[in-house]
Structure 1
Amino acid sequence: MPYSFHLEESEITTNLAASFNKLAKGQQSTERVLKVVYYPLAVFRVRPITRCTSSLSGHIEAVLCVSFSPDSKMLASGSGDSTVRLWDLNTELPKHTCKGHQNWVLVVAWSPDGSKLASAGMDKIVLVWCAKSGKNLAALKGHQQPVTAACWQPLHVAESFPWLATSSKDATVRLWDVSVGVCLRSLTSHSQPVMQVKWSGERADIGGVVYTAGRDTVIKVWNPKDGSMLNELKGHGHWINTLALNTDYVIRSGPFSHEPQKFADLPEKKEAAKKRYAEAVELCGGERLLSGSDDFTLFLWRPLVSKTPVCRMTGHQKIVNQVAFSPDGRWFASASFDKSVRLWDGRTGKYVHAFRGHVGDVYQLAWSGDSRLLVSVSKDSTAKCWDIGRRKLQEDLPGHADEVYAVDWSLDGARVATGGKDRVLKIWRH
């Protein structure tokens, strides 16, 4: 397994003596005890994306969300033309057009086993699709206002097939059993629209923990089994736009890793997902929650340990639109309307670097599976790929004709998908 070694803040690239001399320009005492910190790195390397291999047209309005399936074989996109499209990545051609929504599709979310896809948006209805056939399996009705986010229960804590959580501008979060198409619980105690929902894999005894946040500036922690509220996290002074867990990546990918695998049935997938989750939590030193807000700040929490945040991070000059942890939990990045992407330490929340290069608001981020690269998309119609190790721009990716709203990096690391106002999906590869 490869490691990276660090002396105080700087990475040891050549040898220990050279790094030691750098510390205080040779004024260091040789009697000191030095702390060398090492981090495990991913065994595989994702190659940086350099070119656009296909432009997928078909949507007749802006592309608002894109998501790769956990096994990296398919791509789903939701658009302002009220359709969801499923694309086959082997041929890079459209496979199914899922019609059923009456208005903009704002969210698409794959179930962790890759068999179903949930989509929702402005028409207040959540639709569940079969990934293989593109058929509509269920229409979940209940929300009174547009749906803002959707998230599946982690595979390893689900009793049968994972449940689905959706948040809405009607200030509620609903938990659905998609196999029978019913709303199991409505979580109500937010006083304003709920903009984000995340489902954690901790506390398997109650089927995980649900985190919700929105415009009432409070993060709430829920028990999905009985719908009770476990905790409230206060700190932000304005709307909360985004939440991220340092285990998001492993929860989303379920049993699948960067190597192709075959699973016989759901229990086998659950077992694999459980093992991967345990490894991920051990690697990143416990589960942490991150929130980003309109008050220009970020908060890092250990919600099941304490109500007070680990740290409050300032530095952005405008609202923070999205935050994302790297797959190994060592870093997290924040995208803001101040045109910068900032990199922070995943355990302490310490500021590391600001990536500057975009000339418009930065909308979204996606990490590569080996945590060495980060891609960001912006209002300036470009995507940019950043090298985390060298803290530099790796690749500038122009090609879109207008603002780019959505981006995702496939779990096998081979492709990046971007979509935006020019109604085209672009696939980028090495």
Structure 2
Amino acid sequence: MAGASEPPAKIRRVEEAPANVILQFESESGELTGPLLDVPDTVTPQQLEVLLNNLLQQGDPLPYAFFLQDHELAGQLGTHLQKQQVSIEAALRVVYRPQALFRVRPVTRCTASMPGHAEAVLAVAFSPSGKQLASGSGDTSLRLWDLSTQTSEHTCQGHRNWVLAVSWSPDGLVVASADMDGVIWLWQSSNGETLGCCRGHRKWVTSLAWEPAHASLPSRRFCSGSKDTTLRVWNTITRQCQFSMSSHTMAITCVAWGGEGLLYSSARDCSINVWDAQDGKLVRSLPGHGHWVNTLALSTEHALRSGAHDEHGITPDELEEAKKVAKKRYAEASKGQAEKLVSGSDDNTLYMWQPSTSKKSLARMTGHMQLVNQVQFSPDGRWVASASFDKAIKLWNGADGTFVANFRGHVGAVYQIAWSSDSRLLVSGSKDSTLKVWDVKTRKLKLDLPGHADEVFAVDWSPDGSAVASGGKDKILKLWRH
């Protein structure tokens, strides 16, 4: 910031008396917007929003967030400048970021405790439309739940061991579930009937990832990663393995299918591999971590997950239109840039990558005191949240990986986190048996949600923002709403 290197005596700061401040609006890409503005130090973000919309001549006013030196303006400008000790000798650069037009209401209460599973709930996942919910359990079953009646709609039997992973196809028509025997079952989401199983892995399957909707509709391929050190790409029609990828030397921990025709895998051999999704050839390896790599997250994952779904769903007659919608949604999420990948590890660190272009990391993100269990990009790609066994959640800048804030409140290891679809809220599930909702703008705890009788292993926020689902050691699936 201009003036920051001047001796303290020469730096004029906002004092108690009212003052005027010269500011310049700047977009995220660094482009200056409009002329220099002389505004009182009592100006608020809402007033700046009106000014900016007038300058941009928006047909319909859009909501914006404003940042000075990477700190979001939450109240009056003068108060913010005093708190951050910012000089006003030179014009202030105010970076603006468009926000989601809709606002997700924070979940505040448990609306349903849904028994049914006979053992711990190990995985929960909402459908791409947010209208259905699937859960996998140590009781060897997959259950599909009716969210309108909050009861179990279908119990899918076939597994003979713990169900460890659950994943919906981008068109929402098929659910895949994988178990400790290495078997993957496919189910029709409409009636819970089996479409058959995929056999080939010799040890348990740890992760599933579907080919994105903008690349293929209807969804016919998915990838699985296993403790047997291999990845396999399957055809859902024939239920045959199209090809297998084997370069890792230890158990695969996570698989992600990106929007640029690449597959990403992490493993306990400390490596991250990038593969060509068409033929399974190894593109590059990403070195850096010194211990097991546990988790991967893509900057476009929300767009990839929701596919082309809207409130009307997808019918076979609309597949071509749906594919166009999916392509548009992905293009908006990627903003014309190569997608980013963040990895979390047992070495207590995270790395940010741009794996389609380079094997060199963009940032090394340190601060956690114990292993990183999960990492998630916000739906708009602007934030990264990481959950750790050190009981903390950390917030990072999604552009360059710089540290932003700590979320502290849990008294046990944090197992999973999930973002609201407007990127304003974050929910976490912990060993301490509670869920907590965090406000990204204020960087504070918004709500404490007790209710589970034991550790919370799995958490998901529906893509439509209407509900949070959680499950854990107490064998109960819970729904949380506003």
Count of matched residue positions in the alignment of Structure 1 and Structure 2: 420
Aligned Cα root-mean-square deviation (Å): 1.5
Map 1:193-204; keep pairs closer than 5 Å: 193-202=251-260
Q: Specify which of 298, 306, 323 is matched with residue 358 of structure 2.
A: 306
> Percent same amino acid among aligned pairs?
54
Q: Specify which of 157, 164, 174 is matched with residue 99 of structure 1.
A: 157
1:242-278 Cα deviation digits (max 9, x unpaired)? 0000111110110125x55565432222111111110
- TM-score (ref. length: structure 2): 0.85
Give ranges in structure 1 of 5+ residues lacking alignment.
203-207
The answer to whether 1:40 aligns with 2:98 is yes
Question: Matches of 1:93 and 1:160 in 2, distance apart?
Answer: 28
Q: Specify which of 58, 64, 70 is matched with residue 3 of structure 1.
A: 64
**Which AA in structure 1 matches 2:167?**
A
Question: Matches of 2:465 and 2:112 in 1, distance apart?
Answer: 17
Judge conservation of contact 1:149–1:195 (CA < 8 Å) in 2.
Answer: yes
Match of 1:255 in 2: 308
**Which AA in structure 2 matches 1:147?**
V
Question: Matches of 1:219 and 1:19 in 2, distance apart?
Answer: 41
Judge conservation of contact 2:171–2:219 (CA < 8 Å) in 1.
Answer: no
Match of 2:391 in 1: 339
How far apart are 1:132 and its partner, in Å? 0.5
1:143-165 Cα deviation digits (max 9, x unpaired)? 01100000101011127633110
How far apart are 1:312 and its partner, in Å? 0.4
The answer to whether 1:24 aligns with 2:75 is no
Question: Matches of 1:86 and 1:72 in 2, distance apart?
Answer: 13
**Which AA in structure 2 matches 1:112?**
P
The answer to whether 1:224 aligns with 2:282 is no
Map 1:26-425; keep pairs closer than 5 Å: 28=87, 30=89, 32-158=90-216, 161-202=219-260, 208-257=261-310, 260=312, 263=315, 264-282=317-335, 285-425=337-477
Question: Matches of 2:125 and 2:203 in 1, distance apart?
Answer: 23
Question: Matches of 1:29 and 1:250 in 2, distance apart?
Answer: 40
Q: Which has the larger radius of gyration?
A: 2
Runs of 4+ that moved beyond 6 A: none
Judge conservation of contact 2:273–2:285 (CA < 8 Å) in 1.
Answer: yes
**Which AA in structure 2 matches 1:191?**
T
- TM-score (ref. length: structure 1): 0.95
Question: Matches of 2:187 and 2:218 in 1, distance apart?
Answer: 18
Question: Matches of 1:337 and 1:345 in 2, distance apart?
Answer: 21
Judge conservation of contact 2:353–2:363 (CA < 8 Å) in 1.
Answer: yes
Match of 2:34 in 1: none
Give the secondary-structure state (helix, strand or coil) at the position aligned to 2:92.
coil
Give the secondary-structure state (helix, strand or coil) at the position aligned to 1:376.
strand
1:199-236 Cα deviation digits (max 9, x unpaired)? 0001xxxxx10001111111100012121111110000
Question: Matches of 1:281 and 1:395 in 2, distance apart?
Answer: 31
Question: Matches of 2:88 and 2:169 in 1, distance apart?
Answer: 56
How far apart are 1:29 and its partner, in Å? 5.0
Match of 1:12 in 2: 73
Question: Matches of 2:428 and 2:84 in 1, distance apart?
Answer: 33
**Which AA in structure 1 matches 2:427?**
V
How far apart are 1:180 and its partner, in Å? 1.4
Question: Matches of 1:16 and 1:125 in 2, distance apart?
Answer: 58
Match of 2:46 in 1: none
Question: Matches of 1:385 and 1:428 in 2, distance apart?
Answer: 11
Question: Matches of 2:81 and 2:107 in 1, distance apart?
Answer: 35
Question: Matches of 1:58 and 1:165 in 2, distance apart?
Answer: 29
Give the secondary-structure state (helix, strand or coil) at the position aligned to 1:252.
helix
Question: Matches of 2:154 and 2:202 in 1, distance apart?
Answer: 29
Match of 1:205 in 2: none
